[in-house]
């Protein structure tokens, strides 16, 4: 069970208020889509969940505990680009999470442990339809294949929360339908909570069980930095939760 | 008529054009050598190809009367040993310290300014200190190469490490990587091709420091030999030695490039 609770949370850099008075409660196995204009704190919010930004004031709790100050294996991330390891093959990219988990000293698995990890990685590889590319390097893959791999790579450690920062923003429109299907499949299989920042309104309605709109409620034309954005709409949606 | 910037030589044309400067320089040498030797058969400045050939034969294929060595090969071995050791130590320091500085902010804060300062010390100005401190032996020559090359490699690798996309570093942490695992599985493997690049760029200065050290205090080595025979104006020895040094440097550069392309194909541009 994963609960994310935000109470009266503010984020500011010096005099520049980015987020003000954000309140939110997200329950288990939700798919939260986040939309809003550029520079209204969506990505800052995601970076806080990731642990690389801290709130200036207020509470930001995951399962009742304050955010840890750094990224960890309970929160996976898929960026728009650059999150694959270029020196590893597709299979090795998937395997890495398992190796890091069980081999603290060498970062590599051997023997039976390695075979078990390989089985798991191959299963996931089949699920994302990249078996044929198992021994290729990321630079040899198309953008869509890279993002599929990046998603699978994040899922293999079975994080409680998966963060998606405009994961399909750089892809051809034709591929996004496949990607939506994949992410819904993985979300239902692993029952994690997803936060996805997107620019695509249609996508946010289609995928989410909850849509958050970040916007500024107060604007001072003389001092545009004096007020921050907050969650102006918090809309429950039907979502695509599988029945099982 | 297309613009000059859009006109390209074919494959054979490019080869011929590449060869042209070599041919020009060699022809010019032969012409002036011939002229000078015609005016004065005892001229030593631009020796004839035949006397250069004789010198090569003497140094490479005949035992030296005094030592019984084949001088070119003992010189080459001595120089390559010093160079290899100097470069290997520099690479080890560069990799270890460069990665540490690039990855750990506390180390960056404490070591980076020091390395930056050290890298600006002119190595040849340190040479007397080395001779006084560690004597005139092999250690001084190897140390000079390390003093000259290592700081540059450290700075280069620290910079390259810091240039790794933040996304990658964060992603590794969300996969559970500790600092050690991050270095071992993400940073180090991506540093090898960069280390090779840094070594290739350092080859020139490494040779410079080697020859400088050999010229001042040595009993064998390529640099020692050319500075020794300079006393007799033995251009017939110096010229082939310089060509040989150039050839060795070129071969090392090509070898490093080949290793990079074969072992780290993922890092080649355009894959």
Q: What is the pLDDT of residues B54-75, one digit of tens each?
A: 999 999 888 888 888 889 999 9
Does B51 reside within a domain? no
- For A173, the token pair is 């429109």
Q: Could you give the residue ranges of the DSSP H alpha helices within chain A?
A: 42-50, 90-102, 111-127, 143-155, 173-190, 201-207
Residues B234 and B131 in one domain: yes
Q: What is the pLDDT along chain A (244 residues), one digit of tens a residue?
A: 788 888 888 888 887 888 888 888 888 888 999 998 887 888 888 988 998 988 888 888 888 888 888 999 999 999 988 789 999 999 999 999 999 998 888 888 898 999 999 999 999 898 888 889 999 999 999 888 899 899 999 999 889 999 999 888 878 777 888 888 888 988 988 889 999 999 888 888 888 899 988 888 887 788 777 788 888 888 888 878 775 5
Chain A residues in contact with B174 by the CB 8 A cut-off are 50, 71-73, 75-77, 154, 157, 159
The enclosing domain of B218 has a CATH number of: 1.10.3720.10
Q: What is the pLDDT of residues B142-151, one digit of tens each?
A: 999 999 999 9
User: Is the pLDDT at B271 greater than 60, yes or no?
Assistant: no
- Residue B37: domain span: 9-46
Does B4 reside within a domain? no
CB A160 within 8 A of CB A75: yes
Query: A95 to chain B: nearest residue by CA?
Result: B175
Q: Determine the average pLDDT of the residues in B255-268.
A: 92
Report pLDDT for B260: 94
Report pLDDT for A99: 93
Does B201 reside within a domain? yes
Query: B185 to chain A: nearest residue by CA?
Result: A107
CB proximity B190 to A under 8 Å: yes
* Domains of chain A from N-terminus onward: 4-74+159-236 (3.40.50.300)
Q: Determine the average pLDDT of the residues in B151-159.
A: 94
Residues B156 and B29 in one domain: no
Report pLDDT for A227: 81
Does B55 reside within a domain? no
Q: Which of B6, B78, B260 is nearest to A87 (CA)?
A: B260
Report pLDDT for B107: 93
- Put simply, the chain A residues between 18 and 77 with a CB less than 8 A from any chain B CB are 50, 52, 70-73, 75-77
Q: Which of B224, B104, B94, B223 is nearest to B146 (CA)?
A: B94
CB A36 within 8 A of CB A122: no
Residues B149 and B185 in one domain: yes
Query: B264 to chain A: nearest residue by CA?
Result: A87
Q: What is the pLDDT of residues B125-148, one digit of tens each?
A: 988 998 999 888 889 999 999 999
Residues B36 and B144 in one domain: no
Q: How far is B107 from chain A (nearest CA, A)?
A: 19
Q: Determine the average pLDDT of the residues in B217-240.
A: 91
Residues B235 and B138 in one domain: yes
- When the pLDDT of each residue in chain B is averaged and rounded to a whole number, the result is 92
Residue A231, H or E segment: strand A229-236
Does B14 reside within a domain? yes
Residues B155 and B224 in one domain: yes
- Number of domains into which chain B is organized: 2
Does B196 reside within a domain? yes
Report pLDDT for B261: 93
Task: Report the SS3 class of residue A234.
Answer: strand
Quick one: residue A77, left, alpha or beta (phi over 0 = left, psi -120 to 50 = alpha)?
beta
Residues B155 and B196 in one domain: yes
Q: What is the pLDDT of residues B18-29, one digit of tens each?
A: 999 999 999 999
């Amino acid at each position: 069970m994963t609960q994310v609770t935000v109470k009266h949370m503010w984020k500011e850099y010096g005099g520049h208020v980015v987020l003000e008075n954000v309140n939110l409660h997200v329950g288990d196995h939700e798919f939260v889509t986040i939309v809003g204009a550029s520079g209204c704190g969506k990505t800052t919010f995601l970076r806080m969940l990731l642990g690389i930004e801290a709130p200036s004031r207020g509470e930001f709790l995951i399962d009742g505990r304050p955010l840890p100050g750094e990224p960890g294996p309970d929160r996976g991330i898929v960026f728009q680009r650059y999150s694959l390891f270029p020196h590893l093959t597709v299979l090795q990219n998937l395997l890495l999470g398992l190796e890091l988990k069980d081999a603290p000293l060498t970062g590599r698995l051997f023997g039976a442990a390695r075979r078990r990890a390989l089985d798991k990685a191959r299963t996931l590889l089949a699920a994302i339809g990249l078996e044929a590319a198992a021994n290729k390097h990321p630079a040899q893959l198309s953008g869509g294949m890279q993002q599929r791999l990046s998603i699978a790579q994040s899922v293999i450690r079975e994080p409680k929360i998966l963060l998606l920062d405009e994961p399909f923003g750089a892809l051809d429109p034709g591929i996004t339908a496949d990607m939506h299907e994949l992410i819904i499949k993985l979300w239902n299989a692993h029952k994690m909570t997803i936060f996805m920042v997107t620019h695509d309104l249609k996508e946010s309605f289609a995928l989410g069980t909850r849509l958050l709109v970040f916007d500024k409620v107060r604007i001072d034309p003389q001092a545009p930095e004096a007020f921050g954005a907050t969650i102006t709409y918090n809309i429950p949606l039907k979502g695509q939760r599988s029945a099982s | 008529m297309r613009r000059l910037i859009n006109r390209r030589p074919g494959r054979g044309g490019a080869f011929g054009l590449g060869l042209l400067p070599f041919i020009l320089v060699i022809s010019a040498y032969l012409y002036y050598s011939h002229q000078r030797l015609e005016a004065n058969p005892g001229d030593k400045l631009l020796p004839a190809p035949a006397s250069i050939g004789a010198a090569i034969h003497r140094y490479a294929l005949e035992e030296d009367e005094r030592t019984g060595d084949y001088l070119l090969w003992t010189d080459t071995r001595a120089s390559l040993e010093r160079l290899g050791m100097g470069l290997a130590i520099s690479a080890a320091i560069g990799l270890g310290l460069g990665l540490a500085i690039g990855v750990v902010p506390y180390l960056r804060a404490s070591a980076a300014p020091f390395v930056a300062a050290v890298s600006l010390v002119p190595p040849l100005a340190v040479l007397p200190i080395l001779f006084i401190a560690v004597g005139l032996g092999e250690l001084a020559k190897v140390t000079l190469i390390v003093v000259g090359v290592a700081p540059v490699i450290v700075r280069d690798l620290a910079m390259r490490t810091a240039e790794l996309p933040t996304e990658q570093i964060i992603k590794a942490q969300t996969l559970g990587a500790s600092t050690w695992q991050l270095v071992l599985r993400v940073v180090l493997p991506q540093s090898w091709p960069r280390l090779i690049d840094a070594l290739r760029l350092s080859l020139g200065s490494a040779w410079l420091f080697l020859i400088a050290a050999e010229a001042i205090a040595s009993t064998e080595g390529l640099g020692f030999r050319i500075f020794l025979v300079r006393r007799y104006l033995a251009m017939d020895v110096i010229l082939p030695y310089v060509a040989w040094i150039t050839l060795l440097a070129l071969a090392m550069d090509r070898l490093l490039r080949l290793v990079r392309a074969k072992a780290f194909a993922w890092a080649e541009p355009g894959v």
